[in-house]
């Protein structure tokens, strides 16, 4: 069984969704407990995966490869490196919390909700494991189906608009990547990512492919100006949907850049790095200001996600300027590492923020900031978590939000102090929009009589928020294990950046 | 004189002719309440024919009746799936026919004759056999469309189908006569050599254009698609499901026989024409489908767009391209039978279930049916891991391989546009509330339940393991 650990991790939640679905709407508790069992098992296996992984070795590990389509030479091939493992752990961790978080909240067909979540989890793990481009694409796209259902059935009033926009937007981006992948396949005769990375390509080909990949991953991250689906999807999605979307799905965009753009089209990535860096800075600065004026809490956090993900793309592409411009490998590594830490950290922080908003929404059925005020008076425990996560979101040292941003700013400074200056603005703007929201929601007098009736968080909610808080704190105070886990993979990736293909 | 060998080669067709005649006789002597025996005998006859086709598959292509009839890998795979999809049609159609008092023997006999037409057409070794097979198929189809004689819509659809179909047949025949005039042969194999010798005289190209018109009409490719929406909507759903499946396989077979077996050397001429047809079909099919409110009409426009994708494979004009187009035709036949199968399973007396809004809240009433329909819709839209995605992947690959990157990009763009209306069906089923008092329920007939479930689930299973089928498709087109 453990020879196929990665397959097990992918298929356990997907197959586990079947009994959950079969429990039917008549036995919601059977569905809930089964789903929780499957999610916990998946998490346990992912911990086992961590223990099996040798972080000192930069090669891909736990490889599995079977012929999938013999007449095309397509393989079902899986393998992981440190980066994948970190993201898989994030996925399985969040997988448990969204199921617990939805426990009593989802009353309409809970079995379908839980099943969709489990399928989504399995597919996301698949994305992080796939080393065959076609297999990656299949997981990457298949993910949309459960998410579409999640937003569409259990979402808010404008859910249909939001979910169709989400689906079509993402599909639009990725289909051009598919055309690019077919082109690569016809050239290389394989979809294997390692072979594609070794394939020589002219600058013209690389440029086209770069933009095809950019279309797919920029939508997913999302980067300005293709981020507009995100606020809609987040606002309308049920809490669990928002959490998964922000915590894991957005990371897949950043992950895609690492696995596709950097190794397959390095020269074009270098040539157009300024595009990505420019867009990232716009995301950090402009979207920060957009977040400032939001009146809907979820929208505010959604925009802040766009701004934070700007750091991820900045960190990835600043590495090009450092490696190829100045030959500064250490700084490049720092930037790349920062991007990775930021991905994981943002996974926890944004997931926690959306869970907090979910807690408020379950009580008052409103996400408008103006409907709240003085919540701390009636919900002190909740207030503790909320303020803590808000601090993490604005990048307070000691929380995980600080580590990645600091590393990326530090690396950018060595490339160009101006870039670092603009990127560092996020610390001010991020603090501004987050803390202002805290001020209006938490502090002050109770203006709305309904707020006075709100009950503090129950044990289940404490569990969800507490787990997130522990992760944020541990990562903020002691990021070393995470950095160590990804270290050899990041080093290898940075070395690859130097390889010219022309 | 035909010898015993000729007859053995043609055994599946001859067997089916005899079976159809026997069923017709049997029907005349049967009491109406015994007619469900006829139903199962017909299904059995088709399954037996599949066995004869597959078991008798020759290792090498063989010809019978002096080259008029060819039995090779291409014809066998097309026949097998045409018979299979017709058997599915029979299973799905029965409750619908009973509810509408259309449960008559003619339905079965006519459809079996139509399938014999398909089998002849895909096995054609000469222009004459192409035409014979085509006419047997279309004449039976005209009658089937008009099966519900009291319905004005059906009669209108039948007349439209007949007039336009006759026009297209005329065009095809005219083209054939020109080709005959240029090469002095009707035999496709001889035609191939003759065309290679003579190069491309104007007369031959002139004939080719008319033949393309005929093929375009049978495929339902724009701008020869006008009949599709009306016929799809007007026919009883039990007949629409047939028109959407086996005849599409036949149209692919016909295109392959005429264009590759016959005029393969003119491929650089017809590639361009097919590319134009493909772009128009993709555009018209996908754009017009967006505004449809009738589910059958929506699926009609979706057919047009799918034929555009199939043409992307044919445009390649190489073994790989034909294999991808064949794969696409098979995937479409399976998806289309499943889609109409769901409509048939939900329809009942007085409720056709043919408006998109009729599916409102299906997930609340019948989650299993909603799930099956969702699989079909995502497969039609080409979302992985469904079967339809891989079919699209292969035709896009064929187009890029043929050096037509622009065509592949057009195909990709229209896949996004097409996605919208498939999503809308899923939206109606899952996100909308059921209409009060609607009769949305699954047919109780267990055979329909089981077979339809298998059909729809097969789209997922074939999506996860499409290797063997692709291997089969590739093996019949030796490079």
Query: Does the structure show a pLDDT above 60 at A12?
Result: yes
Identify the CA nearest to B358 among candidates B187, B250, B220, B237.
B237
Average pLDDT, chain B: 91
The shortest CB-CB distance from A168 to any of B385, B396, B420 is to B420
Minimal C-alpha gap between B94 and chain A (Å): 29
Is residue A2 very low, low, confident or very high in pLDDT (cuts 50, 70, 90)? low
Characterize the bridge pairing of strands B69-71 and B62-64: antiparallel
Confidence at residue A425, expressed as pLDDT on a 0 to 100 scale: 85
| Spatial separation of the C-alpha atoms in residues B449 and A427, rounded to whole Å | 60
Question: Is A182 touching B (CB cutoff 8 A)?
Answer: yes
Query: Does the structure show a pLDDT above 60 at A1?
Result: no
Q: What is the mean predicted confidence (pLDDT) over B42-49? A: 95
Query: Does the structure show a pLDDT above 80 at B437?
Result: no
Q: What is the pLDDT of residues A209-220, one digit of tens each?
A: 999 999 999 999
Confidence at residue B289, expressed as pLDDT on a 0 to 100 scale: 93
Query: Does the structure show a pLDDT above 70 at B452?
Result: yes
Q: How many beta-carbon pairs under 8 angstroms link A with B?
A: 87
Structure tokens at B112: 């079996």
Q: What is the pLDDT of residues B299-357, one digit of tens each?
A: 999 999 999 999 999 999 889 999 999 999 999 999 999 999 999 998 887 788 888 88
Question: Is A190 touching B (CB cutoff 8 A)?
Answer: no
Is residue B269 very low, low, confident or very high in pLDDT (cuts 50, 70, 90)? confident
Confidence at residue B347, expressed as pLDDT on a 0 to 100 scale: 86
Q: What are the helix (H) ranges across A237-322?
A: 239-244, 250-256, 262-264, 266-271, 273-292, 297-320
The 10 Å Cβ neighbour count of residue A157 is: 9
Confidence at residue B443, expressed as pLDDT on a 0 to 100 scale: 66
Query: Does the structure show a pLDDT above 60 at B290?
Result: yes
Is residue B34 very low, low, confident or very high in pLDDT (cuts 50, 70, 90)? confident
Identify the CA nearest to A203 among candidates A257, A259, A269, A261.
A269
- Which of B312, B326, B385 to probe the A interface (max A CBs under 10 A)? B385
Question: B272: which residues sit within 8 A by CB, 6+ positions away?
Answer: none
Q: What is the mean predicted confidence (pLDDT) over A221-248? A: 91
Question: Is A183 touching B (CB cutoff 8 A)?
Answer: yes
- The 3-state secondary structure of A377-405 reads HHCHHHHHHHHHHHHHHCCCCCCHHHHHH
Is residue B358 very low, low, confident or very high in pLDDT (cuts 50, 70, 90)? confident
Is residue A26 very low, low, confident or very high in pLDDT (cuts 50, 70, 90)? confident
Least reliable range by pLDDT among A16-20, A59-63, A385-389, B435-439: B435-439
Query: Does the structure show a pLDDT above 70 at B200?
Result: no
Q: What is the mean predicted confidence (pLDDT) over B275-280? A: 94
Minimal C-alpha gap between A412 and chain B (Å): 37
Q: What is the pLDDT of residues A439-463, one digit of tens each?
A: 998 888 888 888 888 888 888 999 9
Q: Give the A window 226-255 contacts with B, CB below 8 Å.
A: none
Burial class for A89, CB neighbours closer than 10 Å (0-12, 13-18, 19+): buried
């Amino acid at each position: 069984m453990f020879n196929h650990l990665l397959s097990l991790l992918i298929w356990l939640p997907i197959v586990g969704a079947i009994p959950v679905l079969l429990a039917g709407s008549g036995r919601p508790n059977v569905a809930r407990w089964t789903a929780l069992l499957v999610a916990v098992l998946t998490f346990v296996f992912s911990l086992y995966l961590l223990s099996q992984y040798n972080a000192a070795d930069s090669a891909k590990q736990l490889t599995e490869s079977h012929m999938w389509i013999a007449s095309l030479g397509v393989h079902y091939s899986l393998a992981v490196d440190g980066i994948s493992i970190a993201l898989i752990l994030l996925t399985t961790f969040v997988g448990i919390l969204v199921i617990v978080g939805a426990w009593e909240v989802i009353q309409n067909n809970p079995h379908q909700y839980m099943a969709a979540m489990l399928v989504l989890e399995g597919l996301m793990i698949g994305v992080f494991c796939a080393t065959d481009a076609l297999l990656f694409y299949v997981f990457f796209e298949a993910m949309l189906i459960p998410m579409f259902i999640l937003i569409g059935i259990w979402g808010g009033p404008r859910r249909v608009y939001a979910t169709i926009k989400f689906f079509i937007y993402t599909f639009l981006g990725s289909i051009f990547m598919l055309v690019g992948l077919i082109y690569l396949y016809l050239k290389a005769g394989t979809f294997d990512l390692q072979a594609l990375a070794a394939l020589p390509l002219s600058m013209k080909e690389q440029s086209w492919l770069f933009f095809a990949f950019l279309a797919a991953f920029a939508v997913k991250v999302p980067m300005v100006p293709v981020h507009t689906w995100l606020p809609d999807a987040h606002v309308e999605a049920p809490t669990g949907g928002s959490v998964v979307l922000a915590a894991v799905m957005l990371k897949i965009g950043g992950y895609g850049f690492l696995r596709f753009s950097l190794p397959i089209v390095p020269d074009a990535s270098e040539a157009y790095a300024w595009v990505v860096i420019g867009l990232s800075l716009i995301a950090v600065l402009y979207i920060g200001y957009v977040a400032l004026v939001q009146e809907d809490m979820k929208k505010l956090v959604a925009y802040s996600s766009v701004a934070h993900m700007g750091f991820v793309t900045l960190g990835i592409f600043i590495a090009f300027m450092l490696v190829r411009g100045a030959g500064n490998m250490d700084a490049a590594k720092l930037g790349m590492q920062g991007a990775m830490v930021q991905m994981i950290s943002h996974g926890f922080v944004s997931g926690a923020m959306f869970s907090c908003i979910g807690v408020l929404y379950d009580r008052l059925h409103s996400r408008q900031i103006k409907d709240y005020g003085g919540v701390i008076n009636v919900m002190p425990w909740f207030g503790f978590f909320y303020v803590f996560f808000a601090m993490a979101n604005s990048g307070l040292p000691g929380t995980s939000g600080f580590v990645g941003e600091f590393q990326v700013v530090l690396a950018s400074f060595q490339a160009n102090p101006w870039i670092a200056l603009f990127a560092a603005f996020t610390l001010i703007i991020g603090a501004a929009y987050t803390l202002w929201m805290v001020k209006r929601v938490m502090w002050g007098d109770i203006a709305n009589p309904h707020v006075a009736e709100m009950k503090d968080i129950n044990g289940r909610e404490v569990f969800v928020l507490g787990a997130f808080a522990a992760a944020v704190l541990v990562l903020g105070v002691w990021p070393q294990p995470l950095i160590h886990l990804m270290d050899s993979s990041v080093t290898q990736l940075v070395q690859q950046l130097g390889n010219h293909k022309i | 004189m035909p010898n015993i060998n000729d007859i053995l080669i043609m055994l599946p067709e001859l067997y089916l002719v005899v079976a159809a005649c026997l069923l017709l006789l049997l029907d005349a002597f049967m009491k109406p309440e015994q007619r469900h025996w006829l139903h199962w005998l017909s299904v059995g006859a088709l399954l037996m024919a599949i066995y004869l086709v597959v078991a008798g598959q020759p290792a090498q292509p063989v010809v019978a009746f002096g080259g008029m009839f060819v039995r090779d890998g291409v014809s066998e795979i097309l026949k097998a799936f045409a018979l299979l999809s017709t058997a599915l049609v029979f299973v799905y159609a029965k409750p619908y026919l009973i509810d509408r008092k259309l449960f008559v023997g003619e339905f079965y006999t006519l459809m079996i004759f139509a399938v014999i037409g398909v089998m002849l057409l895909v096995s054609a070794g000469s222009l004459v056999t192409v035409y014979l097979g085509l006419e047997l198929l279309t004449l039976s189809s005209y009658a089937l469309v008009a099966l519900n004689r009291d319905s004005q819509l059906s009669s209108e659809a039948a007349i439209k189908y007949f007039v336009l179909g006759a026009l297209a047949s005329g065009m095809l025949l005219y083209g054939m006569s020109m080709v005959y005039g240029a090469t002095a042969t009707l035999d496709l194999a001889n035609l191939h050599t003759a065309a290679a010798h003579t190069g491309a005289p104007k007369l031959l190209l002139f004939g080719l254009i008319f033949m393309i018109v005929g093929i375009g009409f049978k495929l339902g490719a724009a701008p020869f698609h006008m009949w599709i929406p009306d016929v799809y909507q007007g026919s009883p759903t039990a007949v629409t499901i047939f028109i959407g499946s086996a005849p599409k396989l036949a149209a692919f077979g016909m295109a392959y026989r005429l264009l590759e077996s016959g005029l393969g050397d003119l491929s650089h001429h017809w590639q361009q024409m097919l590319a134009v047809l493909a772009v128009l079909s993709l555009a018209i099919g996908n754009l017009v489908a967006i505004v449809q409110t009738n589910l059958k009409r929506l699926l009609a426009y979706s057919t047009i767009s799918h034929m555009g994708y199939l043409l992307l494979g044919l445009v390649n004009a190489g073994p790989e391209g034909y294999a991808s187009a064949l794969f696409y035709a098979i995937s479409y036949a399976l998806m289309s039978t499943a889609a109409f199968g769901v409509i048939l399973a939900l329809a009942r007396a007085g409720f056709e279930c043919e408006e998109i809004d009729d599916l409102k809240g299906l997930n609340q009433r019948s989650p299993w049916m909603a799930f099956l329909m969702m699989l079909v819709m995502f497969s039609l839209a080409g979302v992985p891991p469904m079967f339809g995605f891989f079919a699209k992947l292969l035709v896009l690959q064929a187009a890029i391989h043929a050096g037509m990157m622009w065509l592949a990009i057009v195909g990709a763009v229209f896949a996004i546009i097409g996605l919208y209306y498939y999503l809308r069906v899923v939206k109606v089923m899952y996100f909308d509330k059921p209409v009060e008092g609607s009769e949305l329920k699954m047919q109780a007939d267990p055979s329909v339940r089981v077979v339809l479930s298998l059909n729809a689930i097969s789209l997922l299973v074939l999506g996860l393991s499409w290797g063997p089928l692709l291997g089969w498709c590739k093996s019949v087109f030796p490079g």
